[in-house]
Structure 1
Amino acid sequence: MEVSRLPSDGFPGYHLILEYHVEGPQQKPEWASFHLHGKVDQTPIDERFEMHRDVAFNFLQRIRQCLRKRGLHLHTDVLFAFHADYDPMFEDLRDQLHGMPGEPVDLDRFLRED
């Protein structure tokens, strides 16, 4: 997935690419591995992270954390303002992880993902 925005109204411009793949047995992969790279306001970004399958759908929050770690304070609604940017990725990720609606999430793991 690739998103770009020009600077405007106090928000920095950015060009980011998020690549991902799943790992584990094909019938039930356990992890999603992500690679976020590009630039935000001329600051290079190159972050890799993994998320367990039950919390992998919270990838936008993890992206925001990666950017904050570098001193960049963008909101996920600014980064991915339109569902068209991330809905296809979300659906593909759910298909690859064999995620089912209503599947339980390990709350302890979810809270540790910050």
Structure 2
Amino acid sequence: MFRPGHAEVSRPATQGYPGYHLVLDYHVEGEGEKPEWACFHLHGEVDRQPIDEQFSMHRDVAFNFLQRIRRCLRRRGVRLHADVVFGFHAVYDPLFEDLRQQLHGMPGEPVNLERFLREP
């Protein structure tokens, strides 16, 4: 499920893969024509393990938020099949578009590679 500033994905447990219910709330911060930060709050549960992580990403690397979510989950010991986080295009495609609009991002806008590589 998606609405601006909020995305929710769920899947029941199946053989070999944990069930989960994850909610991602987000907003942008910063003054001026182009906000500088995307702020995320990931919460819910995976395999009955509670998840509650908050993080901010600079506007030029914010569109890599799914990788950041995957790292958050791995740090907590959650091992997920690749499509668990990345497979919900009906949810994530409008989220990417909403985030792009909120950040006033333009196709082809440069990314600071040093910052991108430094992201935890």
TM over 0.5: yes
Structure 2 unaligned blocks of 5 or more: 1-6
Distance apart, 1:41 and its partner CA? 0.1
Give the TM-score normalised by structure 2.
0.91
Aligned in 2, Cα 1:75/1:94: closer, same or farther, shift over 3 Å?
Answer: farther
Q: Which residue of 2 aligns with 1:107?
A: 113
1:53 aligns with 2:56: no
Letter in 1 for 2:79: H
Structure 1 unaligned blocks of 5 or more: none
Distance apart, 1:77 and its partner CA? 2.3
Equivalent of 2:94 in 62, 71, 88 = 88
Equivalent of 1:33 in 39, 62, 66 = 39
Q: Percent identity?
A: 74
Q: Which residue of 2 aligns with 1:3?
A: 9
1:60/1:76 contact within 8 Å kept: no
Q: For 2:90, what is the secondary structure of its paired residue?
A: helix
Runs of 4+ in 1 over 2 A off after TM superposition: none
Give the TM-score normalised by structure 1.
0.95
Equivalent of 1:14 in 2, 10, 20 = 20
Provide the alpha-carbon RMSD of the alignment: 1.1
Equivalent pairs counted in the alignment come to 114
